[in-house]
A and B are shown apart, each in its own frame.
Chain A
Amino acid sequence: MLKKLLIANRGEIAVRVIRAAQDLGIATVAVYSAADADALHVQLADEAVNIGPPAAKKSYLNMDALLAAARDTGCDSIHPGYGFLAENAEFSDAVSAAGLVFVGPSGNAIRLMGDKVSARAAAAAAGVPVVPGSVGRVDSLEAARDVLAETGFPVMIKAAAGGGGRGIRIANSLAEFEQAYPQAQAEALAAFGDGGLYMEKVIGRARHIEVQVLADGHDAIHCYERECSLQRRRQKVWEEAPSRALSEPLREELCASAVALARAVSYSGAGTVEYLYDDAADRFYFIEMNTRIQVEHPVTEAITGIDLVAEMLRIAGGEPLRLKQADISVKGHAIEVRINAEDPAKDFAPFPGKVGDLRIPGGPGVRFDSMLYNGYQVPPFYDSLLAKLIVHGETREAAIARLVRALGELQIEGMKTTKPLFLALAADPSVQAGDVHTRWLEGWLIENAAALAS
């Protein structure tokens, strides 16, 4: 078991990790920038170390300062949380090289999954469905026609050497494709000196579904799925578990594929395998694997009863997986909403204010993960997440009702937050029916802009 843990993060996730460590009897060291001296994670940890000025790259992203803080306080391990250095392979390697335990996978596993091409290849090799497309580059129209047999339409054509959206074309029919292909080829050659192209099926309407895995380097298990289709600018705002969209056989197939991938790469720690699920085709496709604990992990904890952060710490301490797949079952339905310091009435403008009177929701089935306290000045230097409200009920309908009740109890005086957004979403018939996809919220926000502004 780990003895003393440095938490290389801030905000609600630093608080979350400190709590899990303290529950296991592990001593905790917080780190903080000059802007976070009064932060809750600093107050809750056994010790705290100032690691630099407010700018993240001079503090929370400063590997030397973090390693020095761990060494000076006698830590044997570092938990990276999410964001900052959580998926930085170099940091994982540096922590190991310093003789400390990185609470997460090896640098090599992070590298493998962090690169889109190698992650896709690893997934395909493990039998995980990937978005249909060319295996590598396509150099002729004849080869492209063979790929079309797999992708169908619409299909995306992009320069193999490209990046940043340059040279991307979408063809909706064979006629469009035969016109677009030579143009894309000429454009790629002109722009990159390489006419090689890459093709991929365009998945139109899809849900974002992800599978939580736990692994110890030898064995892997899953803790079922989460659905995070409600997104704004590719940021999840509302997450739930389980997904209402999956049939039982497909759920088992999806979760088994995530376990197969974790096993194939000898994964260690907590990870999430993300997929797009196409309702109409009843097919799922691998997108990427996140090699860290995720913001939305509490919904999985709510339905499975597992403390995922505690399991991460046990695995990092050298214990084999304590749970077997048969031990894990789903109970009820959970929803998490992200309470951000943003004003939905003003196009989600950031609002780094000072917290006045604070009323935190409670009662059965309600969890509130946050770093807020009365009088806390929210610093402007980091992301806008203030709190995660997680509700659990016997059914999805009960969970939504409980969400509305808990949001009603929540009062954060002095701040503008995303609370009104979630009250409006909870009342929306499409959300109530679970009839959404990853681009649904953007359209809804345009249609409901006036209502949110009032």
Chain B
Amino acid sequence: MAQILSPLPGTFYRSAAPGQPPLKADGDAVAVGDVIGLIEVMKSFHEVKAEIAGASIAFLVDNEEPIMAGAPLAEVG
């Protein structure tokens, strides 16, 4: 199991816009460069891209949850 860490502090979003489905669901396969979520920092939005690939992703942080830089966002196995 490898972890995807948050590059920034802020608020984590699972989907690209309110009301849209999550960018990745638990159990989805992940390729390097896939956008797995967004982080809002001081009213600006930044994509979180996977730097590792795996057959299945499991999120450790809920939608709209505050996170610190370096916090694990998801596990990829």
Where the two chains meet, the residues of A that have a C-beta atom closer than 8 Å to any C-beta of B are 35, 53-55, 341-342, 349-350, 352, 380-384
Contact B41 A352 (CB under 8 A): yes
Contact B64 A350 (CB under 8 A): no
Return B41 CB to nearest CB of chain A, in Å: 5
Q: Is B42 an interface residue (CB 8 A)?
A: yes
CB contacts (< 8 Å) of A383 on chain B: these are: 42-43
Q: Is B11 an interface residue (CB 8 A)?
A: yes
Contact B66 A350 (CB under 8 A): no
Known: A54-B11, A55-B11, A352-B9. A381 touches B44 (CB 8 A): no
Contact B8 A380 (CB under 8 A): yes
Alpha-carbon distance A452/B67, docked complex (angstroms): 30
Contact B41 A380 (CB under 8 A): yes
CB contacts (< 8 Å) of B37 on chain A: these are: none
Q: Provide 12 A-B residue pairs closer than 8 Å at the C-beta atoms, listed in order of the A residue.
A: A54-B11, A54-B66, A55-B11, A350-B42, A352-B9, A352-B10, A352-B41, A352-B42, A380-B40, A381-B40, A382-B42, A382-B43
Chain B residue with the shortest CB-CB distance to A385: B42
Alpha-carbon distance A54/B66, docked complex (angstroms): 7
Alpha-carbon distance A382/B41, docked complex (angstroms): 8
Return A57 CB to nearest CB of chain B, in Å: 9
Extra contacts, 14 of them, besides A55-B11, A381-B42 (Cβ < 8 A), are: A35-B66, A53-B66, A55-B64, A55-B66, A352-B9, A380-B8, A380-B9, A380-B11, A380-B40, A380-B42, A381-B10, A381-B11, A381-B40, A381-B66
Within 8 A of A (CB), among B1-16: 8-11
Q: How large is the interface on B (under 10, 10 to 19, 20 to 34, 35 or more residues)?
A: 10 to 19
Contact B11 A384 (CB under 8 A): no
Return A42 CB to nearest CB of chain B, in Å: 18
Interface centre among B42, B44, B64, B66 (most CB of A within 10 A): B42
Known: A35-B66, A54-B66, A381-B66. A341 touches B11 (CB 8 A): no
Contact B11 A350 (CB under 8 A): no
Contact A384 B66 (CB under 8 A): no
Return A257 CB to nearest CB of chain B, in Å: 33
CB contacts (< 8 Å) of B64 on chain A: these are: 55
Q: Mark B4-43, 1 if CB is under 8 A from A, else 0.
A: 0000111100000000000000000000000000001111
Return A377 CB to nearest CB of chain B, in Å: 9
CB contacts (< 8 Å) of A380 on chain B: these are: 8-11, 40-42
Alpha-carbon distance A262/B56, docked complex (angstroms): 61
Chain A residue with the shortest CB-CB distance to B68: A380
CB contacts (< 8 Å) of B41 on chain A: these are: 350, 352, 380
Interface centre among A54, A380, A382, A384 (most CB of B within 10 A): A380
Return B39 CB to nearest CB of chain A, in Å: 8
Alpha-carbon distance A339/B41, docked complex (angstroms): 17
Alpha-carbon distance A35/B40, docked complex (angstroms): 15
CB contacts (< 8 Å) of A381 on chain B: these are: 10-11, 40, 42, 66
CB contacts (< 8 Å) of A384 on chain B: these are: 42-43
